[in-house]
Amino acid sequence: MTPMLRAAEDTRISGRTVSPLWVVIALACAGQFLVVLDVSVVNVALPSMRTDLGLSATGLQWVVNAYSIAFAGFMLLGGRAGDLYGRKRMFLVGLALFTLASLGGGLAQEGWELLVARAVQGLGAAVLAPSTLTILTSAVPEGAARARAIATWTAVGAGGGAAGGLVGGLLVDGLSWRWVLLINVPVGAVVLAGAAGWLVESRAGDRRRLDLPGAVLVTAGLATLAYGIVQTEAQGWTAAVTLVPLLVGLGLVGLFLVVEARTKAPLMPLKLLRLRAVSSANAAMFICGSAMFCMWFFMTLYAQNVLGYSPLGAGLALVPSSLAVVLGSKLAPRFMPVVGTRNVAALGTLVAAAGFGWQSTMTADGPYLTAIMFPGILMMAGAGLAATPLAALATSGAAPGDAGLVSGLVNTSRVMGGSLGLAIMSTIAATRTGDSTSAEAMTAGYALAFRTSGVLLLAGAVLMLAWLPRGTSPRER
């Protein structure tokens, strides 16, 4: 059996036994699945939440935004905390917060209680998500085995996002909106028990204190940026409520970089950004997230608002796409040693771009096979092919002592890219649709969003071929 933790000069490991590798991978993937699932699973429950709790339209929007802003804002802090205080410990802390907040949200009797619970869920997810990838990459030596493990992690995470609509539809139709959140409690408890018993602790070798000024600045900066991005959909890009947080967020991130350049024990050593594998893979991850994250959102709207599917029917319609992203993620490690990690990332991006181009030909009365199924399979198979090599490249570029930070950076790039992309694509679609509520007008707006995403992916593929290193070995970084 492959040993769980590879020896590293600057990594200290505690524990007396070595856990089976499949158990470690299963636990890490289960944590990632919960985190990603909760980004999308509440969407189909929003109308029921509004009716039951008397939420306003703005309050309903914040059921989703409270989670995503806290998730994006605290991600780097969660990753560095895992390096310094223990990856297993942060996994348990993050999952416990996430599970307790899910319970609180499911039992909420007032709108504000639900919003607070969603924000705490996002905080728990930000602590948990970096640890899932770090535990996995620490357990598996760099090379083909790690690529396969990352492929599994990528597939499970992508499958969580894809399954959100289906799971939410089943729970809302069969039980109530509360079970969209309460389902996390028994699952979280099982994963917590397994992690406590099977995971082995690891952390960076030194006892540096957490860079609190840097942590406050980057968290406030990313959270403020995320808030501004979220406001664009409702207020537009020129409104003060949008511009002010965007400018303040950029200023805080700039100040964070200044502080990190001068402090002795930075939260994020800027030398990491000088590593080609880290900087290029994260830039590519940001672009892919910006283009691809909107797929589930617009496909669900198209299926329900234009083609007349029920929430459950829309979730079932996207099942082939969910399977495609898993297949793409699992095929990527087989192609990477043959054609190169960089080339697989670019190939996956081009496949996804073809799917987005096909989807942009959608009509108001399109048949399921050519309007949803086949283009959806192309989009998500390409997404799976691209995500695995990008994650492998990003995590291969840093020392083991920075593994948690790099994992947090990967997740931050993807989440922030997705938030920005969804805001931009929603604005593009709304501008094209205008005030019309006809099926044809809505279809034209969705089609333009898919066309724009396809062009962005083509540009991303060119960037990958020009900037990404050829592989994950040290000589190729």
Strand partners, 201: 14
Quick one: which of 424, 426, 470, 422 has its CA closest to 445?
426
Average pLDDT for residues 236-263, to the nearest whole number?
Answer: 90
92 occurs within a structural domain: yes
314 occurs within a structural domain: yes
pLDDT value at residue 222: 82
- Decide: 327 and 384 in contact? Cβ < 8 Å: yes
pLDDT digits (tens, 9 = 90+) for 104-162: 999 999 988 999 999 999 899 988 888 887 788 777 776 777 778 877 787 777 667 66
Over 70: is that where the pLDDT of 18 sits?
Answer: no
5 occurs within a structural domain: no
Both 221 and 308 in one domain: the answer is no
Both 223 and 273 in one domain: the answer is no
127 occurs within a structural domain: yes
User: How high is the mean pLDDT of the chain?
Assistant: 83
Count of domains in the chain?
2
Quick one: which of 262, 268, 270, 429 has its CA closest to 359?
429
Both 143 and 250 in one domain: the answer is no
Both 410 and 385 in one domain: the answer is yes
Both 409 and 462 in one domain: the answer is yes
- Decide: 150 and 139 in contact? Cβ < 8 Å: no
Highest mean pLDDT among 194-198, 322-326, 354-358: 354-358
pLDDT value at residue 58: 64
Both 115 and 242 in one domain: the answer is no
11 occurs within a structural domain: no
Q: The domain that contains 454 carries what CATH number?
A: 1.20.1250.20
Both 110 and 217 in one domain: the answer is no
Both 162 and 236 in one domain: the answer is no
DSSP string of 27-81? HHHHHHHHHHHHHHTTGGGHHHHHHHHT--HHHHHHHHHHHHHHHHHTHHHHHHH
| Inter-CA distances, 344 with 147, 257, 295, 468, Å | 12, 32, 21, 11
- Decide: 304 and 432 in contact? Cβ < 8 Å: no
pLDDT value at residue 473: 45
437 occurs within a structural domain: yes
Both 330 and 242 in one domain: the answer is no
Both 342 and 215 in one domain: the answer is no
Query: Any idea what the Cα angle at residue 402 is, between residues 4 and 404, rounded to 5°?
Result: 65
Q: Phi first, then psi: give them for residue 12, nearest 5 degrees.
A: -105, 135
425 occurs within a structural domain: yes
9 occurs within a structural domain: no
Highest mean pLDDT among 17-26, 71-80, 442-451: 442-451
Residue recorded with tokens 């799976």 = 384
Cα dihedral angle (35, 39, 44, 46), rounded to 10 degrees? 110
Over 60: is that where the pLDDT of 177 sits?
Answer: yes
- Decide: 219 and 74 in contact? Cβ < 8 Å: yes
CA–CA dist 161, 155 (Å, integer)? 10
Both 206 and 219 in one domain: the answer is no
> Domain range holding 254?
211-266
Both 248 and 361 in one domain: the answer is no
pLDDT value at residue 11: 40
